[in-house]
Amino acid sequence: MLLLENATARANRWLASQFIDEATKEEIRKLLASPDQKKLIDSFYKDLEFGTGGLRGIMGVGSNCMNQYTVGAATQGMAHYLKKSFPSQEIKVAIAYDSRNNSSYFAHVTASVFSANGITVYLFSELRPTPLLSFAIRYLKCHAGVVITASHNPKEYNGYKAYWNEGAQLVPPHDKNVIAEINAITSFDQIKFTAEPSKIQAIKNEVEDAYYREVINRIPKKESIYRQQNISLVYSSLHGAGITMVPECLHRLGFSNLTILDEQKTLDGNFPTVQSPNPEEQSAMQMALQKAKAIQAELVMATDPDTDRVGLGIANDRGEYFLLNGNQAFSLMMWFILKNLDSKQGAYIAKTIVTTELVDDMARNLGVECFNTLTGFKYIAQLMSALDGKKRFIAAGEESYGYMVGDFVRDKDAVSACAFFAAMAAAAKDEGKTLYQWLLQMYVENGFYKEGLINLVRTGADGEQEIKSMMEKFRNEPPQKIAGERVVRVLDYKISLEKNSLTGSINPLRLPASDVLQFYTEAGSKISVRPSGTEPKIKFYISVKTKLESAKDFLAAEKMLNEKIKIISEEIVS
């Protein structure tokens, strides 16, 4: 009942405001009059909050939805905080948007509010990938930035990713301080919606050209591309912003045989050819895989709507095409990059705590330091800022298909990732090998790690409470055994403690508090549990491992590990 009372009170406040347009008020009246109050509750029971990816929600009326008013309030709050953070300075922000429905509209609302607050706005005149926004912030010496996107979420969603002056998404204390400024807005008349056109400037092509130069400068073994420039590549933008940059980047690198999936290159926020524009999902990649099989391509690439994630497909030695998961792709990228480093002096890479520990082992074997952060590239970027001038950043990645090479972008970057994976395919072929054969060679050298991921979707207010209850149960009643293996270590990032049942020791975790649990077994399996910060999901990350003596043992070892993942999956969500 309390949720309904809160939602009704918020809805009535919106109705009473003279600044809410009549069409929105009519939608609110329908919600209040409906006998099914679930949609009213979901739309108004709370205000949208910044998570690991900023502001994100279903488009529609209400305080918990993406609309011009919640976007306006977020921007006004951010404008207030920028003025407090940079007093007596000419404040500048950059704004980008993707192909989602209403993205262009929300971007212009954002530009209007910033400009009305006397802030100079650099706005991309057309949709562009998220990583270019991160790059533009630093290139144009902006104090902040915003990109309108809901990344890989379903078509009903949109979002508002907020960035600070280092080109990274907001981290504490900035995110909380912006939220405090937003919460201090008690009336829509406090939001300055009327644009000041003289404060809004279009971003010029020189920014994009500078970005391409940075990517090309960081590609190792470019001579392989020259010799293998005609290798067959397949690319799909999944109806998103990637089409504006990925093909051009590959062309500038020298690749001449790129097949673009015509059916999915149209810019369409309804994403008509896929159930969800998420390259993590087999269904989203299916058309690209079919095209690759038809033309016997070396590599398949598909990017999500805002082009910060990329899914990859390759063929095995039997000519069967399959998708690399994010852990495999990141591990293979690190194997390639680290083995080709000119110097390892002071070099480091970074990853998130739920990403495969194969990368930790590989970095250790190759003499490069590997740091772990909380989930979200904003924490990797925060680490990079802390180590600027002390160590040399090489690359970073996460299991959810996000990768970043070099420090010129401070967020995951599918444009440069496509360039690197294409360069890897060329380098492998130059050695007379395939990416699949490289993958197996990597496992033989460093151990065979296999990962699985379970996403349980629980939407709305009821779903949010169910996810909280599940986390509480795992925290209060942790499993003693998983798949017959004794649990020997429990890491609880919410209370920042690690408990070791073998030694009885309790040690502090040196990362910020976060609602994440990790269970390690005596055989080296790892299970991580966390609510998503950007979607109505609870996620279970499963990692198992074994030694791989030779490539010929791969299929048998993979079957064994897949069986173990299946058993763990059934146990953990039962």
Residues 6+ apart with CB under 8 A from 370: 348, 349, 350, 351, 359, 360, 363, 364
DSSP classification of residue 406: S
Quote the CA–CA distance of 170 and 162 in Å, as a whole number: 6
pLDDT in tens, 277-321: 999 999 999 999 999 999 999 999 999 999 999 999 999 999 999
Q: Which two tokens stand for residue 155?
A: 């078509």
Q: Assign a CATH topology to domain 449-572.
A: TATA-Binding Protein (3.30.310)
CA distance 83 to 254: 45
Residue 496 falls in the annotated catalytic set: no
- What are the distances in angstroms from CA 45 to CA 41, 175, 182, 397? 5, 21, 17, 35
Looking up tokens 């190759």 gives: 366
Q: 223-445 — its CATH code?
A: 3.40.120.10
CA distance 493 to 509: 7
Per-residue pLDDT, 52: 53
What's the DSSP call for residue 351?
Answer: E
Ramachandran quadrant class, 432 (left: phi over 0; alpha: psi -120 to 50; beta: rest): left
Omega cis (within 30) before 173: yes
Q: How far apart, in whole angstroms, are the C-alpha atoms of residue 264 and residue 247? A: 14
Give the β-pairing of 369-373 and 402-405: unpaired
Q: What phi and psi values does residue 152 have, to the nearest 5 degrees? A: -105, 10
Which residue is associated with the tokens 């290798």? 231
pLDDT value of position 535: 75
CATH 3.40.190.10 is right for the domain spanning 52-208: no
Is residue 525 within 8 A of residue 555, CB to CB? The reply is no
Domains 52-208 and 449-572 share a fold: no
Positions in the chain short of pLDDT 50: none
Beta carbons of 370 and 337 less than 8 angstroms apart: no
Q: Is the pTM of this model over 0.85?
A: yes
In terms of Cα–Cα distance, which of 8, 1, 3, 72 is closest to 34? 8
Distance in angstroms (rounded) separating the CA atoms of residues 483 and 565: 9
Give residue 524's pLDDT: 93
Residue 439 token pair = 């993958």
pLDDT for res 176: 86
Closest by CA to 167, choosing from 363, 331, 409, is: 409
**Taking the domains of the chain in order of start, what are their residue ranges?**
1-45, 52-208, 223-445, 449-572
Q: What share of the chain is helix, strand, coil (3-state, %, to 5)?
A: 40, 20, 35
Residues 426/229, Cβ–Cβ less than 8 Å: yes
Q: Which pLDDT value is given to residue 47? A: 83
Convert the pLDDT of each residue in 368-420 to its tens digit: 999 999 998 999 999 999 999 999 999 999 999 999 999 999 999 999 999 99
Bridge partner residues of 530 (DSSP): 539
Could you tell me which of 169, 192, 197 has the C-alpha nearest to residue 76?
192
For the chain, the straight-line distance linking the first and the last C-alpha, in angstroms and rounded, comes to 30
If you compute the radius of gyration of the chain from its CA atoms, what whole number of angstroms results?
A: 24
Q: Tell me, what DSSP letter sits at residue 264?
A: G
Which residue do the tokens 């490289």 mark? 438
User: How far apart are the C-alpha atoms of 443 and 331, rounded to whole Å?
Assistant: 10
What are φ and ψ of residue 533, in 5° steps? -90, -10
Tokens 């029971």, residue? 45
CA 10/CA 529 separation, integer angstroms? 33
Tokens representing residue 524 in the block: 């080296």
Name the amino acid, one letter, at 190: Q
Using CA atoms of 108, 109, 114, 115 in order, give the dihedral in degrees to the nearest 10.
Answer: 60
Q: Which one of the listed residues 99, 112, 134, 151 is annotated catalytic? A: 151
d(C-alpha 498, C-alpha 125), whole Å: 49
Burial 444-463, CB ≥16 within 10 A → b, else e = bebbbbbbbbbebebebbeb
- pLDDT, tens digit (0-9, with 9 covering 90-100), for 73-104: 999 999 999 999 999 999 999 999 999 999 99
Q: How far is CA 485 from CA 470, 478, 522, 524, 568, in A?
A: 22, 14, 6, 9, 10
209-248 as b/e: b if 16+ CB within 10 A: eebbebbbebbbbeebbeebeebbbbbbbbbbbbbbbbbe
